[in-house]
């Protein structure tokens, strides 16, 4: 697993929340809304928790309020790179 979160990893995390999405589609539409894929705030909260468990570190408190895959990746990767 790379240090940075990828669209492929995000798609796999979404699958654990019951949402199957092609990582290529996520990458081609990073500004689409999570709602467009059927992922609600509870599902995103579950993804944040799973990601924190996998990475062994807390994510920013507003990570579960991101509206799009691109916004989520930017926030998470910024946090992972700075260690904040």
pLDDT (0 to 100) of residue 2: 53
In a domain, 44, yes or no: yes
Average pLDDT, integer, range 38-61: 94
In a domain, 1, yes or no: no
Q: Structural domain tally of the chain?
A: 1
Asked whether residue 39 carries a pLDDT value surpassing 80, the answer given is: yes
What does the block give as tokens for 41? Answer: 């705030």
In a domain, 17, yes or no: yes
pLDDT (0 to 100) of residue 47: 96
In a domain, 54, yes or no: yes
Asked whether residue 70 carries a pLDDT value surpassing 50, the answer given is: yes
Instruction: Name, in order, each residue with C-beta under 8 angstroms of 43's C-beta and a sequence gap of 6 or more.
Output: 14, 17, 18, 19, 34
In a domain, 24, yes or no: yes
Roughly what angle, to the nearest 10 degrees, separates helices 41-55 and 69-82? 30
Which CATH number does the domain housing residue 22 bear? 1.10.1200
pLDDT (0 to 100) of residue 81: 81
pLDDT tens per residue, range 7-30: 999 999 999 989 999 999 999 999
What is the domain extent for residue 70?
Answer: 7-82
Average pLDDT, integer, range 29-49: 95
In a domain, 2, yes or no: no
């Amino acid at each position: 697993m790379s240090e940075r979160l990828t669209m492929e990893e995000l798609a796999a995390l979404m699958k654990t929340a019951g949402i199957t999405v092609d990582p290529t589609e996520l990458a081609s539409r990073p500004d689409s809304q999570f709602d467009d894929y059927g992922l609600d705030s509870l599902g995103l909260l579950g993804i944040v928790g799973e990601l924190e468990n996998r990475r062994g570190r807390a994510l920013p408190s507003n990570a579960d309020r991101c509206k799009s895959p691109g916004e989520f990746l930017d926030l998470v990767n910024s946090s992972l790179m700075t260690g904040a």
